[in-house]
Amino acid sequence: MGALTASEKGTTPVRGLPKQARSRVTRRHLLEAAVSCLAEHGWAGSTVAVVAERAGVSRGAAQHHFPTREALFTAAVEYVAEERSTALRELFQAAPAPRPAVVAALVDLYTGALFRAALQLWVAASNEEQLRPQVTELEARVGRETHRIAVELLGADESVPGVRETVQGLLDMARGLGLANVLTDDTARRDRVVAQWSGILDAALG
Amino acid sequence: MGALTASEKGTTPVRGLPKQARSRVTRRHLLEAAVSCLAEHGWAGSTVAVVAERAGVSRGAAQHHFPTREALFTAAVEYVAEERSTALRELFQAAPAPRPAVVAALVDLYTGALFRAALQLWVAASNEEQLRPQVTELEARVGRETHRIAVELLGADESVPGVRETVQGLLDMARGLGLANVLTDDTARRDRVVAQWSGILDAALG
């Protein structure tokens, strides 16, 4: 996944919808604008005002939904992470998928706008006390959910000693591959690494 | 490795040394102060002035050594990375080491002040055009050197198809483990993952 697609950017027109639905759409526009903003400009360049403008929402309306900058950006990363999780589950719902396809899809979670945004938030939280507890908690939650999906889609049996750590290591590798893709397009190298480790993991998981 | 140790902080007294040696020591003090500063305060909080004060060096002297902020911080990350590489090679020079010990030492490269500093620089470079070319080039160089050391210490035969990618994936995993350690102390989980992946890697490398 690269930048957010048009539908992910939340271009649903707001006018003509009933009030509650309008509020939900506005909220979604704000969350998606916040993720793009964070991915492109980093934490220092990401304020509620910038996001409101990007989402085409008044600053007052933005503050009504998210009273603080920290609340907006942690909610944004969580929202997009949930969307991705749902999409990933749906992708493999129809039929059991071969493990290499699952590994590739898991790695893809770490190479787009969501990962860039989460990384910016993560690194900012390491230097900013007021951001740290929320981001630490968010990362733990998203991490647990990703692990659950990985175990399920890989058909891994966690009652076997070591399997849990094998899957965790795969997700750590995926995170490292995501980091290697932040400054340059690392796709060609990543594809080779993923192909090789898919085989190794398939053997390790039995 | 956690924070830099006393000797790494460069507490060598400068007075009483000949001029050239004094200049080298000052340079080293600046580089080590720059890495600690970056790791603790991030790119936004890291300026030449802050580092000069931390190193006990005048701002003019700091600017004599490093005319720009970008030059100081990229040189700092490179210097400490080289120190770590040398230390790693020396650690295993006496006798061939068992692979799990090598894997643990490689992962350790990504869990201390150097990784935190490099991560800050990396993420800042993704949003700042004037920093990006230097950091991209630095990361490529440090990455190649780390790969070379890993291949050598693991006794991996890169003429065998797939071995190169196996080693690369291990270093990607180490990088991901480093990222997982930025906000919380992930040592206990990391040790379990490293133990499991050491076994998998050992089998894969033959």
pLDDT tens profile A79-100 = 999 999 998 988 888 777 899 9
Tell me if chain A has a CB within 8 Å of the CB of B173: yes
Q: Which pLDDT does position A18 carry in this prediction?
A: 85
Q: Is the pLDDT of residue B5 over 80?
A: no
Categorize the per-residue pLDDT at B92 as very low, low, confident or very high, splitting at 50, 70 and 90. confident
- Three-point CA angle B151, B153, B159, nearest 5°: 30
Interchain proximity B165–A197, CB inside 8 Å: yes
> Average per-residue pLDDT in chain B?
91
Would you kindly state where each structural domain of chain B is located, as residue ranges?
A: 68-205
Q: Is the pLDDT of residue A7 over 90?
A: no
Tell me if chain A has a CB within 8 Å of the CB of B40: yes
Categorize the per-residue pLDDT at B82 as very low, low, confident or very high, splitting at 50, 70 and 90. very high
pLDDT digits (tens, 9 = 90+) for A106-160: 999 999 999 999 999 999 999 999 899 999 999 999 999 999 999 999 999 999 9
Tokens of B93: 């020079």
Residues B2-40: b if buried by 16+ CB within 10 A, e if exposed: eebeeebbbeeeeeeeeeeeeeeebbbbbbbbbbbbbbb
Among A residues 90-129, those touching chain B with beta carbons less than 8 Å apart: 116, 119-120, 122-127
What ipTM is given for this predicted complex? 0.89
- The beta-carbon neighbor of A136 closest among B124, B176, B183 is B183
Q: Is the pLDDT of residue A33 over 70?
A: yes
Tokens of B77: 């990350």
Q: What does the pLDDT average to over A187-206?
A: 96
- The beta-carbon neighbor of B193 closest among A169, A192, A201 is A169
Question: In percent, how much of chain B has pLDDT > 70?
Answer: 93
Q: Which residues of chain B make contact with A40, given a CB cutoff of 8 A?
A: 127
Categorize the per-residue pLDDT at A206 as very low, low, confident or very high, splitting at 50, 70 and 90. confident
Interchain proximity B199–A44, CB inside 8 Å: no
Distance to chain B for A201, nearest Cα, Å = 8
Q: At what angle do helices A132-154 and A99-108 cross, to 10 degrees?
A: 160
Interchain proximity A173–B169, CB inside 8 Å: yes
**What CATH number belongs to B68-205?**
1.10.357
